[in-house]
Chain A
Amino acid sequence: MLDLNNLTPDQYRARYAALQDAARARAASPAAAAMAPLDPAAILKSGSIPPGAYINLRLPRWHAIRITNPAGTPGAALFIWNADEPSERFNAGDTVKLQWTTNLTTGRVLFSDMGRVLAAITADTGAGHDAIIGPSTPAQSPFPNGRDNLRLAAAKFGLSRRDVGPAISLFTRIQTDEAGRFHHQGAPAPGAAVELRAEQNLLLALSNTPGALSKVANATGPLDYAIIHAPPGEDDLCRRFTEEAMRGYDNTDALFA
């Protein structure tokens, strides 16, 4: 067996190169596609978040939330915690590093700080979701803004600003160019949607506020959401999409074994 603390630099590099090659081979997500409407009888809970407002809710393991953006408002701030141990929470750095990409779309997962999957992106129309810059703060919009709304939502679970780390701005596409500059691609098309399946029992905060680089500081329409029971099937994409995800699910399933 390899003594991992005492390999040569060349041996470590070979291991890393193999992982990187595998990640590049699996880089492509399925093409973005319109989602079939949900069966109304399957919807456990639904609602609409007005511009500038937020919700906080519990999303049990293997329930999914579909978030729809009918008017193409430029962003939706999201943060999630493990409901059973809220010190475990969304980790933006791990999410992009472990998957070797900042492109969060169908097939990708949202990692916690504990090497476990919190949620899976089971469907997505491809509007882009940003975990690098994140939601708006008082620097962009005094009130409401994503930062304050996520903290308010956290407060409703008894949590505080200690518990809100770097977050996601859904419906926000940000790219970098060769010179290292960020480019914000503007508001998504009306009707953009994304579906997240909880892989642990989650606390979820969702705010109808733009991303921090949006040229429009305030939301321009509602966000609609619907929750369904959605256990993964045998051929589930997210659980098998990458080797990294498979190991993340090993760690996650061990919590519920």
Chain B
Amino acid sequence: MIISDTHVPARAPFSATLKAGQTIRIIDLESQQAVDALFYNAADTTERYSAQDTLAAQALAGGPYYLQTGSVLLSNEGRAMATIIADTCGFHDTNAGACSCESNTVRFGHETRFMHSCRENFLVELGKYGLAKRDLVSNVNFFMNVPIRPNGELTVDDGVSEPGGYVELRAEMDLLVLISNCPQVNNPCNGFNPTPIRIIISQ
């Protein structure tokens, strides 16, 4: 049963709460669109997604440095928050964080200071739940291609998701989910052309 079906415009934020067992499907309508996401325990938001817990557990199980079907997103208490149950892309980043106005100045030049960014989207949505910058942590970047090469180089490369590609997660606890439909045009994460996404929550 579909609970909500939302068209999220290019560059826009989105948030929703999910009950344990409900699913969220994020659809990359036009391809190569990075979707930044954060997860909080809806009952106590000081428990939140932890990229390091997630990758440590995945590494100890022999898994890769990126997220794919079967990846379990863990909290900063090491508890399962969500599981990736379907995925047409096969590579989702959780190392490179979200773009911000401030980091853009460092990475792309001071002239980018006033361009829109994911952390602006996150801060707007966090505020609606009484949360703030202290609550921002390393996030998941769905559909974002960030290889870490054997020599340690980390780059944002061209996205590999196809038009209509999707990723679907099952909530393993009651969750607050924050989304930023990434507005970045200074690297290839959105094909230099941010596009809309669709988000379907079901149970």
Contact = CB atoms under 8 A, between A and B. Distances in A.
A16 B109 contact: no
B87 to A, nearest CB: 15
Band of interface residues on A: 35 or more
Contacts of B155: 20, 100
A200 to B, nearest CB: 14
A196 to B, nearest CB: 19
A46 interface: no
A175 B187 contact: no
A48 interface: no
Interface stretch (A66-74, A88-96, A221-229): A88-96
A103 B152 contact: yes
A45 interface: no
B64 A180 contact: yes
Contacts of B76: 147, 161, 164
B135 interface: yes
A104 B192 CA distance: 29
B56 interface: yes
B95 A132 contact: yes
A189 interface: no
Contacts of B52: 92, 132-135, 166-167, 212
Given A9-B191, A134-B52, A177-B150, A166 B102 contact: no
A137 B134 contact: no
**Which 9 A-B residue pairings sit nearest by Cβ, starting from the closest?**
A93-B97, A115-B102, A180-B64, A9-B192, A103-B152, A134-B52, A212-B56, A12-B192, A182-B59
26 contacts: A4-B115, A15-B186, A91-B103, A92-B51, A92-B95, A93-B51, A96-B95, A96-B96, A97-B96, A97-B97, A97-B154, A98-B106, A100-B154, A103-B151, A113-B133, A115-B100, A132-B148, A161-B76, A162-B134, A166-B52, A166-B138, A180-B64, A181-B63, A182-B55, A213-B56, A251-B105
Interface of A: 2, 4-5, 7, 9, 12-13, 15-16, 19-20, 24, 27, 87, 91-94, 96-98, 100-103, 111, 113-116, 132-135, 137-140, 147, 160-167, 175-182, 212-213, 244, 247-248, 250-251
